[in-house]
Structure 1
Amino acid sequence: MTTDADSRTYPETYYAGAYWGPRREPPEACARRAAAFLNMLAACDLLLANWNKIPKPRGKGRKTPLMPPDLPTLTEAFRRGVNREPGGPPIEHLGLTVSAYNDGARQDFVSVSMHCGSYEQHSSANVCVLSLPSKGEGAERILTAPVLAQVVRGMALAWEPDWAVAMSHAHRDLEDERGKADPWLGWVTYLSSQRGTVPPLPAPVRMEPVEDRGTLIILTPERFTVANPEHVALARRVRELLARAGLMGP
C-alpha cells in the first residue's frame, strides 16, 4: 500500500464529476440545484467555500461572487449561460452552463463547471465537474476518502445524477484505455439506484447509502493511486463484479 509520503510526492491529479442524461430544466431549477451543491461543497473544506462566476466570454467582465448562494444571481447566470452561435438565437436543447473558481493561491486553485437543463438525446447530456488541488495543504486535506465521499455525496444529492465519481486523471485514462468509460469506476463512485442493486464487494471496499437514491462505493481508505498495483487490481476486480450485476453499462 502507498505511504503518506508517496501520496504527497506522486504527481497524480484528481477531480470529481457527476453525469446524467437528458433532463429539461429551466434556469430557476438549475440555480436551485447549484445553490444546494455550492452549500454542500462549502461544508467539505474552506477551499471549496468561496466561489466567483467565470465571466462569459471568459476573462471579460467583473468578478461575480456566488457565495453565499443567491438564487436570483444564479438564475441569471444560468440564463446567460445558454448555448448560442455568435449573434444567433439560444440553442435551448443544449442546456445551460455556469463555471466558477475559488480565490485560492495557485496551488489551491479549484474550479467547477455546472452544465444542466440539456435534453439533447445522448447518454451524458448534463455534467458537473469539480477540479481539485494537486499539492499543498489544501490537497492533503481534500484528497482523502472521507472528504471526497462528502463531495460526491453532495453531487448526488444536488444534481441527482446517474453516476458520479472522484478519481485521478491517470486512473481515468487507464479506464479509457480498457474501453470502460461509461461509467468510470474511481476512488469514490456513486451509482444511482436506478441502475440496480450493488452486490457485496471485497475488503477494503466500503459502501454507504445516499438516502434512497443510490450507493457510494469507496475503494480504499488511503489515497487511491495508479502507482500502486494493488489499487489498480482492486479497481478492476470491483468493476468486474459491478459489471456482472449489470451496473456498469451505458
Structure 2
Amino acid sequence: MRTDIVSALRRYLSLFSMMVKRDVLARYKGSWLGLFWAAINPLLLMIVYGFVFGVIFKARWPVQGDSEVSFMVLLFCGLIVHMMFADVLGRSASVIRDNANYVKKVVFPLSIFGGVVSMAALFHFLVSFVVLLLVSGLMGGHLTWHIVFLPVLLLQYLLFCTGVAWFVSVLGVFFKDLTHIVGFVSTVFLFTCPIFFPINYVPEQYQIVLAVNPLTYYVEAVRGIVVFHSFPSVAAFSTSLVVSSVVFVIGFWFFRKTKGSFADVV
C-alpha cells in the first residue's frame, strides 16, 4: 500500500514539474533570446520605473536621502511582488479554457493547473529577485542574514497565490469576460499597496485600504530583507500566514466543488 502511494506521488510530481517547465518555456518559444527574457524584462522595467519616478518625478523615500539608486531598489522590491500576483491573475483567468482538452479526461488532476500557474510565476519572481540583488549590489547594497527568511516568505506567498489561482480559474471558466477584468483588478492592487510610496505618506483615514491589501505584507517583507535588513513583526507574519492558508484551503475547496461542471462549459 505504501509503495502504491509513493509511486502515485512520484508520478504526480513528475507530471507537475513537467507542466511547470512546459509553461515557462512556452512563453519564450521561438524568441531569439529565449529564457534570457526572464531576466531582461525585469531589468528593463526597473530602469524605466527608476527613471520615471526617481529622475523625472524626483520621488524620494524618507530614509534614502537623495539617492536615486536606493529609490529604484525600493521600488522594484514592491514591483516584483506585484508582478508575481499579476502573472497569476492573468494566467489563471484562462488556464482551464486554454487546456480544455484535459477537462474531459477523468483521470487527469485538473487542480494541478493552479499550482502550475503559481510555480511558473514564482520562477519569474526568483529571476527578478536575482536581478534586483545584482543591481542592488552594484549600487553598494548588501545582503545580511535576514535573507534566511525568504523561503518562509515565498512559501506563504505561494500558498496565497495558488489559492487565488484556483478561485480565479473557476470564475474564468464560467465568466469569459474575466480575462478583460483581471488587468484592472491587478492595477487596483498595484496602487493600493506601498510600492511607490511609504505607508505613512498616505492620509491616516485611507491607510486601512493598504492594511487590508494582502500584498502590502509581502512588499514590506521583501523590502525589509533586501534594503532595511529586518523581519516583519510577529503579528504581521501570523496574520499573513492565516490569510494565505485560508485562501489556499478555500480556493482548493471551491475548485474541487465546481470542477465537475467544467466539461459542460468549455
Same-fold call, TM > 0.5? no
More helix by share: 2
User: Highest CA radius of gyration, 1 or 2?
Assistant: 2
TM-score, normalisation: structure 1: 0.31
* Highest RCO, 1 vs 2 (Cα 8 Å, sep ≥ 6): 2
| TM-score of the aligned structures, taking structure 2 as reference length | 0.30
